[in-house]
């Protein structure tokens, strides 16, 4: 009986499957996944005294690569002008911010756990992408062209007072522990945002999935948005506040001596008398509660 196959891809797939079968008999193949129609992926993990690695073959073409886990520590100072702007963007990890008496630098201490090719020293090192202008410093995670995969991160920033600070962390908790800021812009896709600080000009907290907790003095313009989670605002010092709280699914609670309170469905508007300048607070929650109180 004669068998014919229409394409070379079919031969490669069959050969890959045969290789996987042999490896499976040896107990070496640990994963198989379909990548596309007629295309398969097999993975082989090797463990030994030299560390661990992986062998991957993808049909119809083979791609061999050895990877390993690396831990890297970063200690870095970033000069900033008084009243300047500093921003940090990472795909995942825990970020903690504290304030110092320094008026000239932002200090970063971070531990990164990464996956990178064993024989690529450049990929296994951490080189954060930094863009600097006289009054702006932007620090971003550098994947080195996709060669470096971040597994976890623990970042601590020690920043000067009256800084304009932006943090964008796709996956992880963000905590601002004390201090005074000109502006604060914090974003998280998944994780809790907790801020204990005084902000004077603009405050923006945005969390797609997780809780938002703010404690301190509100900025002139303060916005908090949560797609799924709770928003809690504690105003520590007596100040004039005009607020607008809206939830799609959830409840809003105000524990503040308020005037001109108006409620329409899940929307509550009101104002609080106090020293000027007045803060305009807007809180929006798609699914979850909003709590506003004064201490």
In this predicted model, what pLDDT tens digit does every residue of 56-101 receive, in sequence order? Answer: 333 332 333 689 999 999 999 999 988 899 999 999 999 999 999 7
Query: 27 pairs with which residues across the strands?
Result: none
Q: Is the pLDDT of residue 196 over 80?
A: yes
State how far the Cα of 82 lies from the Cα of 104, in Å rounded to an integer: 7
| Overall average pLDDT of the 225-253 stretch | 94
State how far the Cα of 94 lies from the Cα of 142, in Å rounded to an integer: 17
Give the global pTM. 0.77
**Other residues' Cβ atoms within 10 Å of the Cβ of residue 112:** 21
Pairwise pLDDT comparison (25 vs 145), residue with the higher score: 145
Cβ proximity of 189 and 248 under 8 Å: no
Cβ proximity of 184 and 203 under 8 Å: yes
Q: Which of 24-33, 125-134, 152-161 ranks highest by mean pLDDT?
A: 152-161
């Amino acid at each position: 009986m004669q068998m014919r196959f229409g394409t070379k891809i079919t031969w490669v797939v069959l050969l890959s499957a045969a290789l996987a079968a042999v490896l499976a008999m040896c107990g070496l193949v640990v994963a198989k996944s379909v990548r596309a129609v007629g295309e398969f992926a097999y993975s082989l993990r090797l463990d030994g005294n030299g560390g661990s690695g992986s062998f991957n073959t993808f049909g119809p073409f083979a791609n061999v690569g050895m990877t390993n886990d690396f831990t890297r520590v970063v200690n870095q100072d970033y000069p900033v002008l008084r009243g300047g702007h500093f921003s940090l963007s990472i795909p995942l990890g825990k970020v903690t911010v504290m304030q110092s008496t320094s008026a000239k630098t932002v200090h970063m201490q971070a531990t990164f756990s990464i996956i990178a090719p064993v024989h690529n020293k450049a990929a296994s090192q951490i080189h954060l992408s930094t863009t600097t202008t006289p009054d702006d410093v932007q620090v971003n995670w550098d994947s080195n062209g996709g060669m470096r995969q971040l597994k976890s991160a623990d970042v601590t920033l020690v920043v000067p007072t009256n800084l304009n600070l932006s943090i964008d962390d796709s996956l992880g908790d963000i905590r601002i522990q004390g201090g005074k800021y000109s502006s604060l812009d914090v974003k998280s896709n998944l994780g809790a945002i907790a801020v204990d600080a005084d902000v004077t000009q603009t405050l923006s907290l945005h969390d797609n999935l997780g809780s938002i907790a703010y404690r301190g003095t509100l900025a002139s313009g303060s916005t908090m948005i949560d797609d799924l989670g709770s928003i809690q605002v504690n105003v520590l010092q007596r100040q004039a506040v005009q607020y607008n709280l809206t939830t799609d699914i959830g409840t809003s609670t105000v524990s503040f001596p308020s005037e001109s309170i108006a409620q329409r469905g899940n929307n509550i508007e009101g104002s609080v008398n106090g020293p000027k300048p007045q803060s305009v607070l807007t809180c929006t929650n798609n699914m979850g509660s909003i709590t506003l109180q004064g201490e």
